[in-house]
Amino acid sequence: MIFDPDDINWKNYFTPVELNEIKLFNLRPLTNIPPDMKQYLDIYNKDWNSAKDLYMFANGQVHDTISEFNHKWIRESIIRMSELFLYEDILDLKNYSEAELLHEIWPFVYRIFKEKGIKAMIGERCSVAVALARNVDRNLEVVERRHRKITGSKVDIFLKIVGDELGSSEVGKDRIMVADDKYMKDVIMDVPVGHNITRISRTTKFEFPSTLSTIAADFLPLLEATWKGKEAMKATIKILNNRKRKAIELNTTSTENTSLLPYSFVRTSSS
pLDDT at residue number 179: 44
Alpha helices in the chain (DSSP H): 16-24, 35-42, 51-59, 69-83, 98-100, 107-111, 128-134, 215-241
Supply the pLDDT for residue 149.
52
Predicted local distance difference test score (pLDDT) of residue 177? 44
Report the alpha-carbon distance of residue 211 to residue 219 in Å, rounded. Answer: 11
User: Nearest Cα to 188, choosing from 18, 27, 19?
Assistant: 27
Question: Nearest to residue 33, comparing CAs of 58, 78, 63, 70?
Answer: 70
How many residues are given for the chain?
Answer: 271
H/E segment holding residue 93? none
Q: By three-state DSSP, how is residue 166 classified?
A: strand
> What number of H helices and E strands is found in the chain?
8, 8
So what's the pLDDT on residue 213? Answer: 87
What is the C-alpha separation between 64 and 5, in angstroms, rounded? 43
Sign of the CA dihedral running 51, 53, 56, 59: negative
pTM: predicted TM-score of the whole model, two decimal places: 0.75
Q: Which parts of the chain sit beneath pLDDT 70? A: 123-155, 162-163, 172-183, 245-248, 250-271
Terminal-residue alpha carbon distance, the chain? 10
pLDDT value at position 146?
55
Longest dimension (CA), the chain: 74
Looking at residue 89, what is its pLDDT? 84
Cβ neighbours around 179 below 10 Å, total: 13
Q: What is the pLDDT of residue 139?
A: 56
**DSSP label of 228:** H
Dihedral over alpha carbons 76, 189, 127, 243 (to 10 degrees): 100
CA angle at 121 for the pair 154 and 131, rounded to the nearest 5°? 35
